[in-house]
Amino acid sequence: MKHSVDEIKLKALELFPKKAFSSAVGKWAAIRFPSMVSRLQNRVFSHAVSLMRDEAELDIENYPTLDALFTRRLKAGARTVDMAPGSIVSPSDGHLASFGTVQEDTLIQAKGINYTLSELLGDRILGKELNYGKYFTVYLSPHDYHRVHFPLDGTVISFRHIDGQCFPVGEFSTLNVQNLYCINERIVTVCEAPTGRKAAVVMIAAMGVGNMSLSYLPLVEGTHPDWKIFDKEHFSKVEKKRGDELGIFHLGSTVVVVLEKDMGELLPALETGMPLTMGRQIGILH
């Protein structure tokens, strides 16, 4: 019976107008309501998702829109970035959804469900470069801090936007939607560490996420993002330190970090489902 119920739920999810819904949520979240309405909306949302009000940079009621509340910064000192030499840190708050080694271009989405690295990245050449490297996936729920940070020191050498669906990325979808991370909209940021090895940070959109935005500006003057991979003529490399802001989810979603083979190791104490905070050490570079 459970199996048939899941099949019905999956079919309904496939038919639901996910992108239109996400766009509508994004537009709603950007509306500046009268202050009384805005304060009430913020209180209701923060209570509904158990948001950590004491960590927010501003008082919850002072955010002018729901989007401003979603994308809030934290108070100074609310997160500590591990600065040990070669440390790899969690790029965001959330839970560790999966981790391991890429095997034959394959990563684990959930128990018994795999997906391919080259399809996730939208780049077969990069997929080959990162094959057999370590990876980890962080799931952000609606109550989490929604800004994504660089997990290691390095240089941004490229990024690309890949259009796609907006399936939710919670437990039901990860267990039932094949190739979930490869069919959802995503942004791939590629970094080069001081050692010359590469890592990819993939921000994956989800239903209800109005949009994603990047916090760095890797462009020469006079150009602007048009959501395609940039050639070297129109791409200015950007140096970043671990903990620097990379991008923003305008609601919760998922981040996948993939390291080149022999670039580093993940800590042996990691466990699937464990809570993470941005800046917590999760691995070490070789």
| Per-residue model confidence as pLDDT tens for the chain (286 residues) | 456 778 888 888 788 788 788 888 888 888 999 999 999 999 999 999 898 899 999 999 999 999 899 899 999 999 999 999 999 999 999 999 999 999 999 999 987 789 999 999 999 999 999 999 999 999 999 889 999 999 999 999 888 888 888 888 888 889 888 999 999 999 999 999 998 999 999 999 888 755 788 887 655 555 455 444 445 555 667 889 999 999 988 876 899 999 999 999 999 999 999 999 999 999 999 9
126 and 250 housed in the same domain: yes
Alpha helix locations (H) across the chain? 2-15, 18-29, 35-48, 66-70, 117-121, 124-130, 171-176, 180-183
Catalytic residues: 93, 149, 253
Indicate the SS3 state at residue 79: coil
Max distance between CA atoms of the chain, in angstroms, equals 59
Question: According to the model, what pLDDT value does residue 116 have?
Answer: 96
Question: According to the model, what pLDDT value does residue 252 have?
Answer: 65
Question: Of 70, 95, 116, which one is at a domain's C-terminal end?
Answer: 70
65 and 113 housed in the same domain: no
108 and 168 housed in the same domain: yes
Backbone angles phi, psi at 110, to 5 degrees: -160, 170
Sign, CA dihedral 48-62-252-7, equals: positive
CA angle, residues 32, 34, 37, in degrees to nearest 5: 100
75 lies in some domain: no
Question: According to the model, what pLDDT value does residue 227 have?
Answer: 45
Question: According to the model, what pLDDT value does residue 229 have?
Answer: 47
153's CB contacts (< 8 A; 6+ apart) are 193, 194, 240, 241, 242
280's CB contacts (< 8 A; 6+ apart) are 82, 89, 90
93 and 177 housed in the same domain: yes
Amino acid at 28: W
58 and 99 housed in the same domain: no
Task: Give the C-alpha separation, 87 to 242, whole Å.
Answer: 8
130 and 22 housed in the same domain: no
Question: Of 44, 70, 96, which one is at a domain's C-terminal end?
Answer: 70
115 and 53 housed in the same domain: no
Question: Domain total for the chain?
Answer: 2
Question: According to the model, what pLDDT value does residue 23 have?
Answer: 81
Q: Which domain holds residue 209?
A: 87-285
